[in-house]
Structure 1
Amino acid sequence: MCGGRTPRAANGPGKDNRGGDTMAQAIGKEGIDLISGSVPKAMALFAIPTLGSSVLQSLNGSVNAIWVGRFLGENALAATTNGNIVMFLLISFVFGFGMAATILVGQAAGRRDDDAARRVMGTALGTIVPLGIVIAGVGWVAAPWLLDVLGTPEPALDLALAYLRVIFVAMPATLTFTLTMMALRGTGDSLTPLWFMGLSVAVDIVVNPVLILGLGPVPALGIAGSGLATVIANGVALIGIYVTIYRRGSVLALRGRDLRHLIPAGDILRAMITKGLPIGLQMIVISTASLTMLTLINREGVITAAAYGATQQLWTYVQMPAMALSAAASAMAAQNIGAGQWDRVSLVTKWGIGFNFALTGTTIAVLTLFDRHALILFLGADSPAVPIGRHIQLMATWGYLFFGVAQVLFGTMRSNGYVIAPLLVMVVSMYPVRLGFAFGLYPVLGEDALWLSFPAGMVATALMAAWLHRRGTWRKGSVMPAGEAARQGCADRDCGSVDGAGTDLAPATGYRQIAAE
């Protein structure tokens, strides 16, 4: 028999040598069975908690923006806009890394391979935690340079520096928390991330005004207090989610011999980098394009920059259904690919697009009707930025309907390790299309060229994503089915042998195949 551990068959279906919960039991207890039953029902049950997590996260950012904008003024709001874009750029990397973990954990779940899931989790944590510490240190030193590159308006510069440096301090906890939530979703558990995102938001909302305004014995920290509240909230939520993972006996909990997986395994790390880096680069492409757009918007003055910052808060809500459905498509497709059920993968894509039209379309319609009321929350009723924000919203928000289509298609394709072509699509849609539109038509349309460039890029992304999906090359497997992988491994070596470290090689076979693609 392959591998140095007792195989699953010896313990019955879905059992491992460790005792405790199996992957199948963990899905039933903590998550959703994504490989059987109704596809739309499973997608709804998975996507709703994911959407709830996004709503809470965006609500947190919105409430913080309200505190900052109403109590510290428009310069402070513009400062947080610049700082948050830098934070998004940094989180982009862990998003790609975390999505690779989601895919690998999801395919392990489909194969009912618990040890493979723990190997992925250990490697992910053993990489992202020290990396987060390095980012925090380098970011603190480089913050003034970053803000200078952004062309941050002079009135907001000192505020932006104070805010950004505290945000960098929060990076290790923020990145680890994000990675853990994504890995849990790979097992089919989208509910636990919701609870602890809720905890993070609750702590942040309560602590934010205390630190900003200096309530009670706490000194007033101003904009730095907003950043410090994020540090505290993420730390509390991170501790809570890991206490829960271990108390439940989650398949991702590392105990005893499994702690050795915290030393990154070369084969899994290569797979994560090979597949995660292009996914992260997609986000970085979006971020760098946004940074370039922000430099153009900053030239229009602090009022326009504040209006754009408030509009961005609204856009986070508009894009949430698409991002939740994309995450659901990735997790569901990954598990069904692991289980060899390609007919369900096609259904996942179709239902994801259908849900997008319903949910994103409704969100856009509601926002269009109540945009003034929403903007006033961030800017105040008498702010001159309100009419500018309304104009931005009306010109650009409709494009998110196409953004949602692209995200569902990308979510399905990346579940099988198809990540390079989607990256190229993002490069084309963000640079030649969006920035080309903004720069090229600015002399003709003025500021409207900036706002219309957003839907122009989204429509282009959706059209190219549909073409890639229809071509079908993404279906050519990047991961060997479990049975084939095991047979191939036994054919290539004396079954029962172990590597020099004493770990079995069978669970890694599929990951080597991914990395080699």
Structure 2
Amino acid sequence: MKRIQRVDLIDGPILPALLSFAFPILLSNIFQQLYNTSDVMIVGRFLGQKSLAAVGATSAIFDLIVGFAVGVGNGMSIIIARNYGAKNEDQLRKSVATTAIIGCILSLFVIFIGAVGLYPLLQFLGTPSAIVSQSYLYIATIVNGVAVTFAYNLCAGLLRAVGDSLAALYFLIIAAILNILLDLYFITQLHLGVQSAGIATIIAQSFSALLCFFYIRKKVPFLLPSRTDFVWNQKLYQDLISQGLTMGLMSSIVSIGTVILQSAINMLGMTIISAQISARRIMSFALLPMTAISSSMTTFTSQNFGAKQFRRIQQGVKQACLLSLLWSVFVAILLFFTSPFLTSLISGSTNPNLIANASLYLQISSCFYPVLGCLLILGNSLQGIGRKLTPLISSFIELTGKILFVLLIIPHTGYIGVILCEPLIWVPMTLQLWFTYHKASHQLLASSTSTIP
């Protein structure tokens, strides 16, 4: 098998390899965030706070849909990375073929669920009646284009699985710029309203997915299956579905908890909704280096697991946690001083209540970023070595915690309860993952013939 990866994750110094591999992922994540953040900025400036709240009221549902697609793509790419690390080209192509079939089926399933339950869900979440119709138009557009989201994340996942984290970046940059231009054109020239933000996002992602596919066909054709690779293999389907759905469900369970939390936020009024969506967009950018490192650990641990380099996995996790810790301390200090300015920049608002509430959210939650960094790295690393159940349990801990906050704490504390909800839940989640990882790493080191549990 021809090795095309620009970064060797199996041999050589770990830290330079991690940084080199993670940097294109970081840039990709930045431009991925620009998809929805540009929607927020442009909608807030040209359509006003009411439309901004309409987009914000759907943010948890948006994260649920996109998170599921990304999780499934990343999960199935773990199997592909493992086959690549083991230099099993035949199994690699069959894995890609099976991944494509599963992606198509899941896309149809999500579209069906959205058609049946999306509007009732917005009503159940207590979306204010003044914005519920706008919210539905925006999020329905995203749901109907979910196949595009699956397609891009599956193609990007293939490239990252074989160590190429750079190629998809170029296509994503072009698509992000296209998304901004389409947002401006649809809103300011065609006057399509808040729905135009969703349409622009889907068109831009379609373009990115097509570019990614044609690159794979031209540069790394060994990833593309032939007709004979589309065969029924029960074990392969089980491995890919279990790994993909585990990560997809893990992300979805977290997002379901966020959806439930969104219902409490929606009850606090449009100003709080707008403050929350602005703060979370800023937080998403602040966490990008941490998420890039944690994403790179999935491929790092998968390839080294396939190559049976278990001590290297342990060293990589330690170095990734240190990198994440350093960044989280820096960004916590930065957000403490710059939150008001960043909130005004993102939201386009001068409302002092909106700015104050968004700033308070960022200043408090950022103190817990060191915990979150370890949580992300441990969860992705455990997935990479085949420990699928443990991160899923961690997600259930988060879901349970959010339900308890919504039912028992937020009704008495208001917005401060919303702010503290996720940071306080990160602590037990991280402890649970750390104890499991500590045990798993010692088991791997004990035997060079370890298999996936």
Q: What is the TM-score when the length of structure 2 is the normalising length?
A: 0.93
Show the counterpart of 1:490. none
Aligned match of 1:370 in 335, 338, 354? 338
The runs of at least 4 aligned residues of structure 1 exceeding 4 Å deviation read 473-477
Q: Which amino acid aligns with 1:35?
A: I
In the alignment, the residues of structure 1 paired with residue 115 and residue 411 of structure 2 have an alpha-carbon distance, to the nearest angstrom, of 38
Residue equivalent to 1:440: 408
CA–CA distance in 2 between the matches of 1:387 and 1:446? Answer: 15
3-state DSSP of counterpart to 2:287: helix
Distance in 1 of aligned mates of 2:18 and 2:324? 12
- In the TM superposition, residue 104 of structure 1 has moved relative to its aligned partner by 1.1
Partner of 1:162: 137
* Structure 2 equivalent of residue 235 of structure 1: 206
Instruction: Please name the residue that 2:151 is paired with.
Output: 176
Rounded to whole Å, the distance in 2 between the matches of 1:261 and 1:145 is 42
Q: Which residue of 1 aligns with 2:376?
A: 407
| Structure number, greater radius of gyration | 1
Q: What corresponds to 1:333 in structure 2?
A: 301
Q: Does structure 1 residue 151 correspond to structure 2 residue 108?
A: no
Corresponding letter in the other structure for 1:193: A
Amino acid at match of 1:221: L
Q: How does 1:245-264 map to 2 (within 5 A)?
A: 245-254=216-225, 258-262=226-230
Distance change >3 Å, CA 260–CA 149, structure 1 → 2: farther
Query: Aligned to 1:340, what secondary structure does the other structure show?
Result: coil
Asked whether the 8 Å contact 1:410–1:422 carries over to 2, the reply is yes
Separation in 2, partners of 1:300, 1:84? 16
Q: Does the CA contact (< 8 Å) of 1:70 and 1:378 recur in 2?
A: no
CA–CA distance in 2 between the matches of 1:264 and 1:79? 45
**Structure 2 spans left out of the alignment, 5+ residues:** none
Which of these residues, 93, 113, 116, is aligned with residue 118 of structure 1? 93
Q: Report SS of the residue matched to 1:155.
A: coil
Q: Indicate the residue corresponding to 1:349 in structure 2.
A: 317
Alignment match of 1:185 (pick from 151, 160, 176) = 160
Asked if residue 84 in structure 1 is aligned to residue 59 in structure 2, the reply is yes
Compared CA separation, residues 263 and 195, structure 1 to 2 (3 A): farther
8 Å CA contact 2:76–2:243 kept in 1: the answer is no
Question: Does residue 1:268 correspond to 2:268, yes or no?
Answer: no
> CA 1:344–1:315 in structure 2 vs 1: closer, same or farther (change >3 Å)?
same
Assess if the C-alpha contact under 8 Å between 1:289 and 1:430 holds in 2: yes
Task: Report if aligned partners of 1:23, 1:114 keep a CA contact under 8 Å in 2.
Answer: no
CA contact (8 A) 2:79 2:95 kept: yes
Counterpart contact for 2:253–2:399, Cα < 8 Å? yes
Distance 2:390 2:416 in 1: 31
1:44-123 equivalent positions in 2, closer than 5 A: 44-123=19-98
Are 1:389 and 2:358 an aligned pair? Answer: yes
Given that 1:406 and 1:462 are in contact with CA atoms closer than 8 Å, whether structure 2 keeps it comes out as: yes
Contact 2:142 2:202 in 1 (8 A): yes
Of 256, 261, 275 in structure 2, the residue corresponding to residue 307 of structure 1 is 275
Q: CA deviation at 1:364?
A: 2.5
Could you tell me which residue of structure 2 aligns to residue 509 of structure 1?
Answer: none
Select which of 251, 276, 292 maps to 1:283.
Answer: 251
State the partner residue of 1:504. none
- Aligned counterparts of 1:132 and 1:281: Cα–Cα separation in 2: 14
Report the Cα distance in structure 2 between the residues aligned to 1:342 and 1:382, rounded to whole angstroms: 53
Q: Distance in 2 between matches of 1:229 and 1:443?
A: 37
CA contact (8 A) 1:318 1:400 kept: no
In structure 1, the gaps of 5 or more residues are 1-21, 485-512
Distance 1:279 1:419 in 2: 8
2:196 equivalent in structure 1: 225
Letter of the 1:246 partner, please give it.
Answer: R
CA RMSD in angstroms comes to 2.2
Deviates further, 261-270 or 333-342: 261-270
Distance 1:141 1:436, change over 3 A: closer
Comparing 40-49 with 392-401, which one deviates more in the overlay? 392-401
Deviation at 1:278, TM superposition (A): 2.3
8 Å Cα contact 2:81-2:302 kept in structure 1: yes
How far residue 262 of structure 1 moved from its aligned partner, in angstroms, is: 4.3
Whether contact under 8 Å (1:122, 1:264) holds in the other structure is no
Paired AA for residue 347 in structure 2: L
Check conservation: 1:136, 1:171, Cα contact below 8 A.
yes
Q: List per-residue Cα deviations over 1:321-380 (Å, max 9, x = no partner).
A: 222111111101111111111111111101110110122322232222211111002333
Contact 2:102 2:241 in 1 (8 A): no
Q: Deviations over 1:477-502 (max 9, x none)?
A: 9xx97xx9xxxxxxxxxxxxxxxxxx
C-alpha distance in 2, partners of 1:415/1:160? 37
TM-score normalised by L of structure 1: 0.82
Equivalent residue, structure 1, for 2:386: 417
Report Cα offsets for 1:241-280 as digits up to 9, x if no partner. Answer: 11111111343123xxx23434564322210122222222
Give 1:295's aligned residue. Answer: 263
Seen in structure 2, the aligned counterparts of structure 1 residues 413 and 297 have a Cα distance that, compared at 3 Å, is same
Equivalent-residue separation in structure 2 for 1:23 and 1:151 (angstroms):
54
**SS in structure 1 opposite 2:191?**
coil
Look up the SS of the partner of 1:359 in the other structure. helix
Once the two structures are overlaid, the 10-residue window that deviates more, 183-192 or 382-391, is: 382-391
Over the matched positions of the two proteins, sequence identity in percent amounts to 22
Name 1:458's counterpart in structure 2: 426
Aligned length: 451
Specify whether residues 262 and 204 from structure 1 end up closer, same or farther in structure 2 by C-alpha distance, changes over 3 A only. Answer: farther
Deviations 1:365-414 (A, max 9, x none): 22222111110023334223111111222222322221110111111111
**Equivalent residues of 1:325, 1:408 under 8 A apart:** yes
Aligned mates of 1:424, 1:52 — CA distance in 2: 30
Distance 2:167 2:331 in 1: 25
